[in-house]
Amino acid sequence: MSDEEHHFESKADAGASKTYPQQAGTIRKNGYIVIKNRPCKVVEVSTSKTGKHGHAKCHFVGIDIFNGKKLEDIVPSSHNCDVPHVNRIDYQLIDISEDGFVSLLTDNGETKDDLRLPTDENLLKQIKDGFAEGKDLIVSVMSSMGEEQICALKDIGPK
């Protein structure tokens, strides 16, 4: 067999997983968990006693980190749950386009133009008002499981 017969498709990502397993009994409040294929922040955890069939159950209540919906799940405490990799990155706001997209400045000086304005009315108003006043704004972008969204705003003063 020669070397020319082996072809491997190369992908753009490094093959890193969007989630990692963690035992259900070790997940705590304010941690993260995947419920119904959505990344959620855990707001409540309750554990039931072991029953006749041996497994204690963990009842998780989580809030979707992107759309704010409340989701619930019950998992045996000895089983593994998926935990999403959640990253927060700060960018400087450069521009807001008419079609609802923002232009952001990354740390290495490049622009990032593929993010929409947030759907949260309060945060949306703060961003638009601050930008209209000509303030220097830093937005925090949360990314997890292939999704990104602006989740917070910092004002670092006038330009």
d(CA 75, CA 70): 17
Per-residue pLDDT of the chain (159 residues; tens, 9 = 90+): 455 555 444 444 444 578 899 998 899 999 999 999 999 999 999 988 876 777 888 999 999 998 889 999 999 888 999 999 999 999 888 888 888 888 888 888 888 888 888 878 888 888 888 888 888 889 899 999 888 998 888 877 665
Please tell me the distance from the alpha carbon of residue 64 to that of residue 73, in angstroms, as a whole number.
Answer: 13
Report CA 22 to chain centroid distance, whole Å. Answer: 17
CA distances for 100 relative to 20, 103, 124, 153, angstroms:
33, 10, 10, 17
User: What tokens does 76 get?
Assistant: 């045996």
pTM: 0.76
Six token digits for residue 63:
């809030």
Which residues neighbour 149 within 8 Å (Cβ) at sequence distance 6 or greater?
Answer: 66, 115, 116, 118, 141, 142, 143
* Amino acid at site 70: K
Longest dimension (CA), the chain: 68
